Structure 1
Amino acid sequence: MTKLFITGATGYIGGDALATIYAAHPDFSYVALVRSTEKAEQVKTRFPNVRVVIGDLDNSALLERESAAADIVLHTADASDHVGAAKAIAAGLVAGHTKEKPGYWLHTGGTGILTFEDSDKGSYGNKSDKIYDDWDGVEELLNLPDHAFHRNVDKLVLDAAAKHADVLKLALVCPPTIYGRGRGPCSQRGRQVYELANVTLRLQKGPIIGSGQAIWNNVHIHDLSDVYALLVNAAVAGRDDDGIWGPKTYYLTENGEHRWGDLAKSTAEAAAKLGFIPEAKAEPIDLDSAKQYAGFESLSWGMNSRGRALRARKLLGWNPSSPSLLDELPQIVKSEWKRQQEQESDR
């Protein structure tokens, strides 16, 4: 029986990925790391066959033990930035597996790693023509500057995959802006676009950073979960095709891109059409003010993160088919309006 250990089952990415994999493989033995007994009950209610272990990402011994016992580790909980968790998972997979029975690591990064040039320049709202890819251009991804966002953890997991290639099979999944309603037991809400909708409703206008020309990739949460599911299938089948696993396996899981200024305008249009704001208006907002409303997420509205997801399409047959970001936008605005109403009623 295949054993799968997941972190982040109560989160947006992990919850939806678990829902997809659980539906396809109800016979697996599942273990989920959860931080509280309250959320553990929510996971158990949604996924009765999952064994829950209570702990957090600082519980290195627990992470090592469960990673050693698992055939597949799906790491989604703060995976791109928590150094200790990545070290513990790597150590567990190496300790618990052999060349004859390798361990598979589905690690979640993020395409924030591609924003370093904007950060370095302090440039927000300007277009970049630089487009990365995870196939012909993978060497560029492997040699990004050490100070790039998420780079420290990416290097750690890639180095582990190179050093222990026979026993640790890695796939580094890098989602961009994620949208769509999640199917997990707890968090079903994305971040960047949802905060954009939230701020649009609060300001009664779409917020534009700089000239609004910065571009970012996007993917529907269901299509992203399909990538994890396809990787799980490849692991179960023992596929070791060149390029599926290893220290060069970035998976940029995009299915299109958006210009942030245009998206701010479209969000305002959707909100006005739904009657939530008086008119479809989008105007510039300075970065400090944006951060007061949406924190760190607002920085991304002025940054570029552009890539092409070739690896998953070529090797896994990934064929994203969910509604586009623009098609989904009215539902996102509705969900944020409802969320604001609920928050108001709770005060």
Structure 2
Amino acid sequence: MAPKIFLTGATGYIGGSVLDAIVTSHPEYDITVLLRSVPPSFSSRYPNVKIVKGHYDSFDIIADATSQASVVVHNGNSDHEPSLNAIITGLLRRSTPSFLIHLSGTGIVSDFRNSTYLGALNPKVWSDITDLDTIFSLPDNALHRNTEKLIQAAVAQDGDRLKAAIMCPPDIYGEGRGPLRSKSVFVPWFVDESKKQDGGGRTFYTGDGGNTRSWVHIDDLMMLYLKVVEAAVAGGTGADWGKEGYYFAGTQEVSQRDIAIAAGKILKKLGIIKNEEPFHASLDQIDTMCAERNYPGIARYLFASNSRTEAERAKKLFGYKPKAPTLLETLEDDILSAVGEK
């Protein structure tokens, strides 16, 4: 019998890429997705994927669908508690062990709320093996902490029946493979803000620009997702679950200053900005950026913070290493995509 998989977030950048990776690599899987509305080309592109109509607050619909799946890949809103509660409820209705693969993110270890290292290099590099106790005791206001706590509580209550893995990717670049959204967040937002600066547009950093974040290409991230999904289908063999089921996915680090310098040259060459030299923005200036996004502190998070992680578990279990080009090697393509010229 084909393994049954239920997937959320199928029209998103990550979730759509996960769906495409699973369908492409394992057409034999029995896959069902949750969709609020169906993109025009979805059914022709994925004719064998079943669709359940609903949204993230459709508790009964989600719980019923998850109760029929042995593996749930939750790529929807990482902080949305009702949908996660519905998934956990559905999985615990099953009489046999089931697997939850939940999307979180390295925002959980970002230092954007601490002024100490804004615009400067934070020496701390987080490990998904040796730092788990610290990660699991982060304050409640850490990004994604609310849903990670729900999973930890559910596993602590019934870890024999509920096997969970938390996927914690860093910033992502590259063209998404899914049916709808194909762009990540950072590059389009950075380009938008750069176009507004200094009259004719300039890239920027704050402090000395040494603040550094981990990055992964969407294709490399999909390699890791496939490994964990395949392990779940195989009954868990070959992967870690529960407390140890925590996976960073970064393949490289890049500072804000290096991004600003590289992007400045590209944007100037494309005629999008007038001056390729980045300018030094104050924190007050950073705080005025991305105001329309309606998320307090989002510009500090994107442009001034550190979030450095090491994918030790994936390397240990799967020999995880990058195959895709680096962020700076693909930056021009990502910028062209962001401005609609690709």
TM-score (norm 1): 0.90
Partner of 2:190: 196
1:221 aligns with 2:232: no
Shift of 1:16: 0.7
Partner of 2:316: 314
2:326 to 324, 327, 330: 324
Shift of 1:43: 2.4
What's the secondary structure of 2:181's corresponding residue? coil
1: CA distance, partners of 2:81 / 2:242: 19
Q: Count matched residues.
A: 332
Partner of 1:265: 261
1: CA distance, partners of 2:165 / 2:223: 14
What's the secondary structure of 1:338's corresponding residue? coil
1: CA distance, partners of 2:207 / 2:279: 10
1: CA distance, partners of 2:53 / 2:293: 30
CA 1:36–1:307: 2 relative to 1, 3 Å: same
Residue correspondence of structure 1 range 175-254 to structure 2 within 5 A: 175-203=169-197, 204-241=201-238, 244-254=240-250
2: CA distance, partners of 1:121 / 1:193: 24
Partner of 1:143: 137
Of 232-241 and 218-227, the range deviating more from structure 2: 232-241
2: CA distance, partners of 1:217 / 1:324: 11
2: CA distance, partners of 1:97 / 1:214: 48
List alignment gaps of at least 5 residues for structure 2: none
2: CA distance, partners of 1:92 / 1:222: 30
CA 1:73–1:121: 2 relative to 1, 3 Å: same
Partner of 2:165: 171
List alignment gaps of at least 5 residues for structure 1: 342-347
Residue correspondence of structure 1 range 264-303 to structure 2 within 5 A: 264-285=260-281, 286-292=285-291, 296=295, 297-299=298-300, 300-303=302-305
Partner of 2:93: 95
TM-score (norm 2): 0.91
Shift of 1:210: 3.7
1: CA distance, partners of 2:286 / 2:122: 19
1: CA distance, partners of 2:123 / 2:294: 27
State the AA in 1 paired with 2:109. Answer: L
CA contact (8 A) 1:12 1:188 kept: yes
2: CA distance, partners of 1:202 / 1:97: 56
State the AA in 2 paired with 1:91. Answer: T
2: CA distance, partners of 1:294 / 1:33: 26
Shift of 1:206: 0.5
State the AA in 2 paired with 1:60. Answer: F
1:222-264 C-alpha deviation (Å, 9 max, x unpaired): 11111111111111222345x6111232101100111112211
1:191-241 C-alpha deviation (Å, 9 max, x unpaired): 012211232244421032343221111100111111111111111222345
CA contact (8 A) 1:111 1:174 kept: yes
Shift of 1:77: 0.9
Structure that is richer in helix per residue: 1
Partner of 2:63: 64
What's the secondary structure of 1:219's corresponding residue? strand
State the AA in 2 paired with 1:247. Answer: K
TM-align CA RMSD: 1.9
1:51 aligns with 2:60: no
2: CA distance, partners of 1:146 / 1:20: 33
Residue correspondence of structure 1 range 86-165 to structure 2 within 5 A: 86-98=84-96, 102-115=97-110, 117-121=111-115, 124-165=118-159
CA contact (8 A) 1:68 1:97 kept: no
CA contact (8 A) 2:187 2:335 kept: no
State the AA in 1 paired with 2:113. Answer: S
CA contact (8 A) 1:172 1:249 kept: yes
1:240-297 C-alpha deviation (Å, 9 max, x unpaired): 45x6111232101100111112211211112123343333121133123323376644
Q: Identity rate of aligned residues, in percent?
A: 34
What's the secondary structure of 1:172's corresponding residue? strand
CA contact (8 A) 1:195 1:294 kept: no
